[in-house]
């Protein structure tokens, strides 16, 4: 049985990392062996379908971020993460009226 995109979202575990603050998300990513760059995307930011030549992990600390891949969409909430395989077509956009604080992460 094929898993859905929703099943691929890594949920935030407050019992392990506390609230999904920027500091705590950074700690979790570092614990998982990722390095990252943070961005702030304002409402209306839209990323058309694209790929990356490397596997990465997207996560957010604030706002809501629609993410699409494999014909499915999910809305990432603060603390949630999703791995994007190398060369996989995906797209995203900020939803709602709050800025998204975004972690663009790759393995070291």
pLDDT tens digits, 87-100: 999 999 999 999 99
Return the pLDDT at 90: 98
- DSSP run (H or E) holding 104: strand 100-107
Q: How confident is the model at residue 108 (pLDDT cuts 50, 70, 90)?
A: low
Distance CA 5, CA 17 (A): 24
Q: How many angstroms separate the CA atoms of 108 and 99, rounded?
A: 27
For the chain, the average pLDDT equals 96
């Amino acid at each position: 049985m094929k898993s859905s995109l929703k099943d691929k979202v890594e949920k935030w575990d407050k019992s392990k990392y506390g609230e999904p603050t920027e500091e705590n998300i950074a700690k979790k990513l570092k614990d998982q062996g990722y390095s990252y760059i943070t961005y702030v995307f304002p409402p209306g930011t839209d990323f058309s379908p694209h790929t990356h030549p490397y596997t990465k992990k997207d996560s957010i600390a604030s706002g809501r971020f629609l993410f699409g891949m494999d014909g499915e969409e999910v809305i990432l909430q603060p603390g949630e993460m999703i791995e994007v395989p190398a060369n996989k077509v995906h797209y995203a956009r900020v939803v709602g009226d709050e800025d998204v604080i975004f972690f663009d992460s790759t393995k070291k």
